[in-house]
Amino acid sequence: MPTDSTATPATVEPALTVSAVARRLGVAPATLRTWDRRYGLGPSEHSAGAHRRYTPADVVRLEHMRRLLLAGATAGEAARSARVLDVEAGDGAVPSNDVVAPARRGGGRVLATPGGAADVRGLARAAQALEYGGCVEIIQRSLKERGAIWTWDNLLLPVLSSVGQKWSATGRSVEVEHVLSSATQQCLASYALDAAEPASPGVVILACAPNEQHSLPLVAIAAALAERGVASRLLSSGVPQEALNDAVRKLRPNVIFLWAQSPKTADPELVEDLPRFRHPATIVIGGLGWDEVAHCLPDSVQTATDLTDAVARILHVVGG
């Protein structure tokens, strides 16, 4: 039978503009341009005489990056994961309105962890079942066997990202996030306390920007520093500028690390208002929140791209 040459071709998803993708992800267009320039996650469709546009595969990678950022990853960590995402194979290609795996016979729904290793799947199951002890056991074993940075990058971030994705899409699983975050904080803090006696005399302050509520990355940095013989003073979420300034005056730190996950909490005045001394502290910033205002900061302020980079920059100043 002859083929019908007038048959309708398969539907092709249209490519999107910068502003359209920005609205979809809930970020500023300037942030997307920064991700393109700094991390190579830009629009890949080219046509003569027209602006570059984002393909569906580009958007999947950016949504994956955004989920990791919401889970507490730095932009550098999230970008590396997004760049190696095998979209054709389906890794991470979970539609934004379908963030949990299908219901299993005789059981509830489970967190989606595409391509996750056994420990990742186990932690996701324990968190979903609200098994605090199970979460602690898996995290502690990973810390003991692989250390703080590997555990953060390869175990905790994937599961925290899945929980954040599910909450963003459905408004549910807040209780799962609380159990997982509490277990993560306890394990990282205990790991830091059990580390060897500090070998470095340097003073390090780790602080959230005022009103920033996501402090788990700071706890991970504190644990990674501790296992390298560097103690730190951790000022967690909700610390006002005045309290941070008082801590700086009392401790005269060598390094001040400032975390801002949300653009709403990153304020250049936070840096400008820090007390100054004859031998000024090295200031390092981290978190997606700083992306849009980093150009307003003094050239002396360093930007950490991920957990490994943050630890390396701090160690460069204080040793260890």
Residue type, 300: S
- B/e letters for 50-71, b = 16+ CB within 10 Å, e = fewer, are eebbbbeebbbbbbbbbbbbbb
What is the predicted pLDDT for the residue at 12?
A: 45
User: If we measure between CA atoms, which residue out of 286, 256, 287 comes closest to residue 272?
Assistant: 256
* Cβ-contact 318, 204 below 8 angstroms: yes
What is the predicted pLDDT for the residue at 98?
A: 31
Question: What are the pLDDT digits (tens) for 248-289?
Answer: 999 999 999 999 988 889 999 999 999 988 888 999 999 988
CA distance 7 to 50: 29
CA distance 151 to 54: 33
What is the predicted pLDDT for the residue at 70?
A: 64
Beta-carbon count within 10 A of 168 CB = 15
Intervals of the chain under pLDDT 50? 1-12, 89-109, 115
Q: How far is CA 54 from CA 18, 30, 111, in A?
A: 7, 15, 28
What residues does 233 pair with on adjacent strands? 205
Sign (positive or negative) of CA dihedral 242, 246, 247, 253: positive
Who contacts 202 (Cβ-Cβ below 8 Å, separation ≥6)?
230, 254, 255, 317, 318, 319, 320
What is the predicted pLDDT for the residue at 145?
A: 94
CA distance 176 to 100: 13
Q: How far is CA 82 from CA 13, 32, 64, 104, in A?
A: 20, 14, 6, 29
CA distance 94 to 195: 39
Residue with tokens 């990056």, as numbered in its chain: 65
What is the predicted pLDDT for the residue at 168?
A: 64
What is the predicted pLDDT for the residue at 113?
A: 54
Who contacts 197 (Cβ-Cβ below 8 Å, separation ≥6)?
229
- Please give the structure tokens belonging to residue 167: 């909450």
CA distance 97 to 221: 33
| DSSP structural state of residue 76 | H
Q: How far is CA 184 from CA 135, 167, 176, in A?
A: 8, 18, 12
What is the predicted pLDDT for the residue at 29?
A: 83
What is the predicted pLDDT for the residue at 142?
A: 95
What is the predicted pLDDT for the residue at 109?
A: 47
CA distance 130 to 178: 9
Who contacts 133 (Cβ-Cβ below 8 Å, separation ≥6)?
none
What residues does 53 pair with on adjacent strands? 45
- Please give the structure tokens belonging to residue 125: 């199951």
Residue with tokens 């090295």, as numbered in its chain: 282
Domains of the chain: 14-93 (1.10.1660.10), 97-194 (1.10.1240.10), 197-318 (3.40.50.280)
CA distance 56 to 44: 10
